[in-house]
């Protein structure tokens, strides 16, 4: 029985968030340490990711304006997409200089691009939002 962590993975973006694997080999825990019911682990883990989604939105753009859709309901693109769009335009405006590390624009573009999918693809996010709205409003 052992618990270990893998070496840090090399990554081009999000240096402040190192990526590693937790490696559990034949680990046995007392039954009293079980969170929830047996077999519910995946559901519990996926529900725990909702907080990460909120964090990604917060990291991607500090202020995000809500606009009205034609139906009169608030609508907005995900904050990560808005942040990436702004960074991408900055990169375009700076031309080749935008790719130089001294300007920092290329790092913003990479980091914000990565923010678009760490907590699930757009399609998964739409399913989660739709499920939440259905549960809340029938």
What pLDDT, on the 0 to 100 scale, is given for residue 77? 62
User: Above pLDDT 90, what percent of the chain?
Assistant: 2
What pLDDT, on the 0 to 100 scale, is given for residue 96? 83
What pLDDT, on the 0 to 100 scale, is given for residue 53? 65
* Beta-bridge partners for 24: 3
What pLDDT, on the 0 to 100 scale, is given for residue 64? 41
Mean pLDDT of the chain: 75
Taking the C-alpha atoms of residue 114 and residue 118, their distance in angstroms, rounded to an integer, is 7
Helix (H) or strand (E) holding 55: helix 41-60
Q: Give 106 or 55, the one with higher predicted confidence.
A: 106
Surface-to-core class of residue 125, CB atoms within 10 Å of its CB (0-12 exposed, 13-18 middle, 19+ buried): middle
This prediction's pTM: 0.43
């Amino acid at each position: 029985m052992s618990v270990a962590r893998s070496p840090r993975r090399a990554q081009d973006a999000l240096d402040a968030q190192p990526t590693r694997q937790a490696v559990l080999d034949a680990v046995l825990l007392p039954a009293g340490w079980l969170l929830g019911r047996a077999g519910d682990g995946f559901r519990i883990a996926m529900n725990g990711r909702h907080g990460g989604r909120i964090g990604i939105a917060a990291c991607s753009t500090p202020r995000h304006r809500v606009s009205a859709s034609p139906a009169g309901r608030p609508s907005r693109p995900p904050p990560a997409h808005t942040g990436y769009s702004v960074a991408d335009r900055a990169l375009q405006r700076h031309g080749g200089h935008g790719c130089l590390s001294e300007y920092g624009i290329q790092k913003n573009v990479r980091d914000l691009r990565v923010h678009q999918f760490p907590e699930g693809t757009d399609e998964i996010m739409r399913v989660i939002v739709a499920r939440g709205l259905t549960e809340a409003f029938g």
